[in-house]
A = this chain, B = another copy of it.
Amino acid sequence: MGGGKLSQQIIQKMIVPQFKNDLLDQLHDGAVFTLDGERLAFSTDSYVVNPIFFPGGDIGELAVNGTVNDLAMCGARPLFLSAAFIIEEGFPMDDLWRVIISMQSAATKAGVKVVTGDTKVVDRGKGDKIFINTSGIGVVDSGIQIGSRNARVGDVVIISGPIAVHGIAIMSVREGLEFESQIESDTASLNHLVMLMLAASKNIHVLRDPTRGGVASSLNEIAESSRVGIKIDEEKIPITEPVRGACEILGLDPLYVANEGKLIAFVSPGDAESVLSVMRQNPLGKESAVIGEVVGDHPGTVVMRTSIGGSRVVDMLSGEQLPRIC
């Protein structure tokens, strides 16, 4: 969705200043505020993924995991979710059931409760099967200071596993691509993994799930917010062969493709080993890898050492945004 089309990023950048207040999460996944001494995280996302059922998941599971992850990336323990449905007239009841059951199962897995909801029905042709909004509330325990402004020179950049899986799972279905083995979305709730990481280290400075816009966009946002440079190493970025192949066929740079079950952590160098160790013991982090570090040079910019030995700037906006990927 490049070119002159209405861009989500542009809109977001126009909307944010209008609501400007000290709590608004300009570039983070959720807002964190204090309520009678307790720090709460609050986050919202609408899910419009197309198709609604895809290899490895569906819109319902995505809607729960996505908002759980946004809270977890604030360092919060996610507790409560809302679920609001906009359903197109004629959407089959059976499909609705599949989605609801999948949401409930994802909520149970993540240990969160869906406590409030809403349903709206729109006429045929005024929606697209089903859109789901989830908002979530979590508690940030004391001592935790995680935020996109907190990256420090020397921090080690860790990713929890192979990139670009969700986006490719969706695009493969849309484009009718067939591979030897089907590529399944990595959608998963990362809150339990984050809790293990936080127990292992008090020096995790930034957490981010690289969803829309992929790893490249997340790293750029962090470099900008923290006014630091980030250096990554192409060779070290985990990616599976099928995903790499699919990216080539589809003409996509995997750095810009959405993930739904991965996180990036910025950790003090002294704690990197112990954080990496707990991550690798968890099924969701067993392929965790160090992909780079925070540097004092080129603040605001992400630079990648390429596999052929050169280095290039990883831009914010190169590559297309994939529409309706989540």
Contacts and interface: CB of A to CB of B under 8 A. Distances in A.
Interface of A: 1, 5-8, 11-12, 14-16, 18-19, 21, 23-25, 30-31, 33, 35-38, 40, 42-48, 79-80, 82-87, 89-91, 96, 100-101, 103-104, 107, 113-123, 125-128, 131, 133, 135, 137, 139, 323-324
A38 B37 CA distance: 10
Contact of A113 (B21, B91, B115, B323): B21
Contact of A83 (B7, B19, B104, B122): B19
B115 A42 contact: yes
A250 to B, nearest CB: 19
A292 to B, nearest CB: 28
A138 to B, nearest CB: 10
A164 to B, nearest CB: 20
29 contacts: A6-B87, A7-B121, A11-B119, A15-B85, A19-B103, A19-B104, A19-B113, A19-B117, A21-B113, A23-B80, A24-B117, A25-B116, A33-B115, A38-B38, A42-B80, A42-B116, A44-B83, A44-B84, A46-B84, A46-B133, A48-B122, A120-B324, A122-B128, A122-B324, A123-B323, A125-B125, A126-B127, A126-B128, A127-B128
Nearest to A123: B323
Contacts of A80: 23, 31, 33, 42
Nearest to A15: B100
A11 B95 CA distance: 13
Contact of A42 (B43, B82, B104, B120): B82
